[in-house]
Structure 1
Amino acid sequence: MVTVVPPRPWAYALRLPHDPRAVRVARMTVRAALDGHGAQDTADVVELLTSELVTNAYLHTKGPSSLRLTCLSDGRLRVGVWDSHPYIPAPFSGSREDSVPLAPADAGSGRGLRLVQEYADSWGGWAIGGSVLGCGAGKLLWFEVGGR
């Protein structure tokens, strides 16, 4: 019988300024972390979904955001993005029936959260009040991919 040892858990955190270049920095950070830990097989999906959440944080808030990438002991990758706006959009509000409609074919935006719904294995979000985790008020949206 073969014994499989789960990967050693690790985490990276990054504070992002309210700057359009923050999305690129987030993508590059995710790619570098996953490459460094031999998780290239999930890098494309994680990079895409991270980009969507960080883009929304930039577009819908006026302040900084934070990114946290965590490899859990069972091999799942969890990405969390905090921003200063408390509104939790579908599909992160908790109900799986709360889905994101398809964007019209000619729309220039509106597909990001649908991508999370389609490609992530799980997702969620919660409002944060006060100064929790040094982030201040706002919300945290997260998604997970992979695992056994």
Structure 2
Amino acid sequence: MGEVLDRVELLASELVTNAYRHTRGPASLRLTALGDGRLRVGVWDSHPHIPAPFGRSPRDRVPPVPAGAESGRGLFLVEQCADSWGGWPLGGDLLGRGAGKLLWFEVGGARGRE
């Protein structure tokens, strides 16, 4: 896993930062070792909105951020550096309150070496 450590740290940091900056509730980070040397990183937060590229088709891309911008590169980095990614809205309660979302990405394995 050493060859993907820098990517994992960068991308996990971006997702956790977004959860902190854009939600008002709890959040969590989970690392899961999958078969074939892959690692999945999931970040759950309490806000239901799933941003691009997680909520769009793979053909839709996150636009690059202008060079002078102070923020806005995190999801573009996920799109460029992760081998795969996705997002799921999580179910709510009977009063219609959502339970947030889970955003994830994977790195490593045979897919990551192509």
Structure with greater contact order relative to length (CA < 8 Å, sep ≥ 6): 2
Q: TM-score, normalised by structure 1?
A: 0.69
State the 4+ residue runs in structure 1 displaced beyond 6 angstroms: none
* 1:97-116 mapped onto 2 (5 Å cutoff): 97-116=59-78
Residue identity (%): 72
Structure 1: runs of 5 or more not aligned: 1-38
| Structure 1 residue 40 displacement after superposition | 1.8
1:77 equivalenced with 2:42 (yes/no): no
| Structure 1 residue 94 displacement after superposition | 3.9
Structure 2: runs of 5 or more not aligned: none
* Residue of 52, 55, 58 corresponding to 2:14: 52
Secondary structure at the counterpart of residue 62 of structure 2: coil
Structure ID, larger Rg: 1
Contact 1:67 1:79 in 2 (8 A): yes
Distance 1:61 1:91 in 2: 18
Contact 1:94 1:125 in 2 (8 A): no
Alignment match, 2:27: 65
* Residue of 111, 117, 126 corresponding to 2:88: 126
Q: TM-score, normalised by structure 2?
A: 0.88
How many residues align? The count is 106
CA RMSD of aligned residues (A): 1.2
C-alpha deviations, 1:42-93, integer Å up to 9, x for none?
1100000000000000010011101110110211100000000000000001
